[in-house]
Structures are given as C-alpha cells and as structure tokens.
Amino acid sequence: MTSKHPVPFRIRASLAALLGTACLSGAAQAVPNDTFRSWSYVSLPGGGLLSDGQPWNGDTALWSGASSAWLDADSYARSQIGFENGQLAAKIEVSARSPVNGHVYSELFYRDQGFVCDADACGTAVPSAASFTVNLHQDGQFTAGSANFSVSYALWSAGAFHSFHFAVQQGEGPLAPYGAFSTENLVTGQSALEPLMIAGPSGQPVFNPLFNLVWEDDDQDGVYNFAYDLSFTTATQGVDLREDLFMSAYVYGTPDGQFFDSFNSFRSTWTPEAGAALYGSGGRAVVGPVPEPDVWTLMAAGLGMVAALGRVRRREVD
C-alpha cells in the first residue's frame, strides 16, 4: 500500500495573515510579520502521543520556530525554522524504533505575509524593477521503505508565482523522490512546469538536470543520500514579495530503527542584482554586489555630461 502525505500548501499559508515592511534600495521600517511554526510528536508504545509544541489550532502567541519530542535515543522528532546569515534555513529529523507504535512526525512552516514598502519610508528610492536569484539547496538521508518527506517552497512577486515541491514517498517499491517546479506569469496567466523526472534518450525516466539532484545508495545498505540545488531568477518592484515554506517528515517504528535525517540541510538564498539591497522584517538582509569601478566611472561621466549640457543651455538662454 502506498502512503501519501499531501502538503496543503495554500491552506496552511492562509492560517497566518500578518503585515510588515521592507523595500529594495531604500530605508526599511520593519515590523514583525513573519510566521514561524514547528510541531513534533512521537507515538508512545502504550498509545497516545509525546508532543512538543502547539497544535495548529492552538494559541498563535505560543507558536515557536523550533520543537522536539524525544522518547529515547532511537525514537525522536525535531524541526527548526529561521534565518541564518540572511538565509531562510529549515531543519527536520525523525527516527523511530520498535516498540514505538505508529508515526514519529515533525513539521515546520514559515510565511512572510508580504514585503510592504511604505511610501514615506521608501519614496522614489525603490527601483522600478530589480531582479534577484533564488537558490534552494538541501541534503539528507532516507532509509528505504520508511521515510515520508515533503518540502514545498513558494515565492510571489508582482509579476510571477514560483512554486517548488520535492518529496519522497513510502511505498511497496524502492524508495524514490518526486516533485516539480512551476512558474506562473501573473500578468498573462501563462504557466510552465518542470517535473523532477523527464524522459531520457532511451525513453526511461531520468532526473531533470534543472534540479541538480543526486540520489544514491552506493553500498546498497538501504540508506539513500540525497542533495539537490534549484536556482531561478525573479523580479520585484520592491513592494510585492511573499515567501512560504512547508516541510514535514514521518517514519514508522521498526526493529531496525528507520529514519529520515536532513537536519542542518535546507537553505533558501537570495542574491540581489548589483546595487540592490533587500531588508525583511523577519531578519533577512541581503545586499547585491557593489557595482564595478568602471560602472561608477560611466555613471559619473553620464552625470558630468548632463551637467555640461545644462551649462551650455544656460549660456544659450543668456
């Protein structure tokens, strides 16, 4: 029997609606608007759950970006979500060994309701358009036949919606990953989809090179190591970004101690174009590279020409 763990991404995202302030190349007046949520539990041998963290319908004031539930060294769940050096970083790990009866489970959620640039704070300092590159990276391990893992990442701008989903699903066959990356043009309504697997030269499915996915069990011990990178470029007006992340993992207790482990793994890195800076209320502050000296020289020369033309015109008027 195949067990699926769907990711109700847009439904989860609607649970938090908080506002904040950020801008590109301008002064940011940030207020807390990020939602960080983590929840973990272990099924107890005698029934019931050992849980740490608040359920989704609990008091939002008690929500935390970190949680853990430890029965012993072989049966535990933990997850953590936050910013590290300007990068959105997510960590999750679950392990289970008999006599645990049922799931060992952990999930985490992050949402920025939207970067809102106040006119008084940003004014004309917000560029009409600025691009930045997003890189998603993750690595970890799975034990064959046990782990159910899913990550969904989404980024909205004024012109596009980007969505990435990566998962590993328990089934009767060999453990295998699946997923997709999609981009929707919010102006034209057109969308493009890149699946994780594509048809190879022989017609057999192979990994899409867009994801740079490595998936291997070199010593044939049933433990798969994986890593992937996904990069894409998007544009913003400086007032229109929104970012969501949802991750979950669970395993069943077995005599061998099945596990999923990607703690310290997921990263979402933003790199703005030269001269642009992005400030987020949740702790993110990323700055594009400083323009090269020759760029500054050209800019100065251009300003000099404008000033010179102004002087010439004034003489003609006089």
**E-state strands within the chain:** 34-43, 49-52, 66-70, 76-84, 87-96, 103-112, 130-143, 148-156, 160-169, 176-185, 191-195, 197-199, 205-207, 214-216, 223-236, 242-252, 258-261, 266-272, 277-279, 285-287
Residue with tokens 């609990």: 58
Domain ranges across the chain: 9-287, 293-318
Q: What tens-digit pLDDT sequence spans the chain (318 residues)?
A: 333 333 333 333 333 222 222 333 333 333 345 788 899 999 998 888 898 866 666 677 778 899 999 999 999 999 999 888 878 999 999 999 888 888 899 999 998 765 555 444 443 334 567 888 999 999 999 888 778 899 999 998 878 999 999 999 876 677 889 999 999 999 999 999 999 999 999 999 999 999 999 999 989 888 899 999 999 999 877 667 788 999 999 998 888 788 888 888 899 998 888 877 776 656 667 777 876 665 445 455 555 554 555 554 445 555
CA 210 vs CA 97, 194, 227, 229, 273: distances in Å: 36, 8, 13, 8, 22
Any bridge partners for residue 269, and if so which? Answer: 135
Rounded to whole angstroms, the Cα distance separating 22 from 240 reads 9
**Which amino acid does the sequence have at 299?**
M
CA 254 vs CA 76, 106, 220: distances in Å: 13, 18, 19
φ, ψ of residue 127 in degrees (nearest 5): -65, 150
Residue with tokens 């798969």: 224
Assigned token pair, 100? 């645990």
**E-state strands within 196-279:** 197-199, 205-207, 214-216, 223-236, 242-252, 258-261, 266-272, 277-279
Q: How many residues does the chain have?
A: 318
pLDDT computed for residue 43 by the predictor? 92
